[in-house]
Amino acid sequence: MKKDLISNHAQLDNSGKLVHLLGLEDLPKSHLLDILDRADSLLDSQGNLKKSKALDDMSVANLFFEPSTRTRNTFEIAAMRSSANVINVDLANSALKKNEALMDTMHTLKAMQIDMFVIRHKQSGLPHHVAQHLEGVSILNAGDGTNAHPTQALLDMLSIRQHKPDFENLSVAIVGDITHSRVAHSDIQALKTLGTTDIRLIAPEGLQHDAERCNSVKCFSDIDSGLNGCDVIMVLRLQKERMLEADIPNEQEYFDNYGLTTERLALANKDALVMHPGPINRGVEIDSAVADGAQSVILQQVTNGIAIRMAVMQILAKNHE
């Protein structure tokens, strides 16, 4: 699928209601804040998840064309806590393996009275393509290629807002594989929408934004310089195959140059938040003392992820009434 399909389908209907969640680049600030506010309302004063009947009698299908146990499980829990019926489609043994066209499978699932598809795919633009060619079903992008991971960015924004509500004055550092990270791409879009202007991308040369895209953010190859005085540190997961592309010989060298240690954390502001989308590679991207430390909100992010996914599903369900 061509990259130019990504922006070909609107997330909003003609009345301005959100009917799909495909990405954050064109999501108005009012809709982004609406999702955050709805997610907040689904957490009690101790940060525990509430239950809801908002998706009662609705069906949600998880379609994960690439593995992601954490994201799939949180979508499943979110749907169940909203009282939906959940179908985890067995793609390994599906008709797609028998050469059925993908859209034929989608239309078949719709005929089974599925109301919402949660789609994760290695091909950038696949959820957008489905939304463009399938009416009457809400599409949630759970990660497409290197393009976007909107619910991850939304849960990151919720986690930040719970501690630092003024986004306009934040300094946010994102550390790791910027080039291939759909999480980073969506986080950058969300931060810009919320008014953050000091966005710092810290990465080895082979994993950094290109020069043109670095015009709108601050790009660093030196982690110490990038972390100096920042308020939030988002550490990205590094995949081994990406190390080879960037001429990084081994995990130890990456950790020596880009791992978040207690010494490097001390360069940031004293109340800086430490975040990670998970799963963590301890001793590669981040030291255990930092991941488990007082400034870490990594486990809070997991809980917030369920609240965000509940919120998105409930908003989409209401808008399709």
**Contact (Cβ atoms closer than 8 angstroms) between residue 194 and residue 157:** yes
**pLDDT given at position 185:** 95
Q: Is the pTM of this model over 0.85?
A: yes
**pLDDT given at position 4:** 42
Q: Average pLDDT per run of 10 along the chain, which is 321 residues long?
A: 47 92 94 98 94 94 89 96 92 60 88 95 92 93 95 98 96 95 96 97 90 85 97 92 73 93 98 96 96 98 98 92 67
**pLDDT given at position 204:** 92
Give the whole-angstrom CA distance, residue 237 versus residue 278: 7
Q: Name 300's Cβ contacts closer than 8 Å, sequence gap at least 6.
A: 47, 159, 162
Residue 260's φ and ψ, nearest 5 degrees, are -85, 110
**pLDDT given at position 8:** 42
**Contact (Cβ atoms closer than 8 angstroms) between residue 203 and residue 223:** no
Report the DSSP beta bridge partners of residue 66: none
Residue 67's φ and ψ, nearest 5 degrees, are -70, 140
What structural domains and CATH numbers belong to the chain?
3-148+302-319 (3.40.50.1370), 164-296 (3.40.50.1370)
b/e per residue 77-90 (b: at least 16 CB within 10 A):
bbbbbbebbbbebe
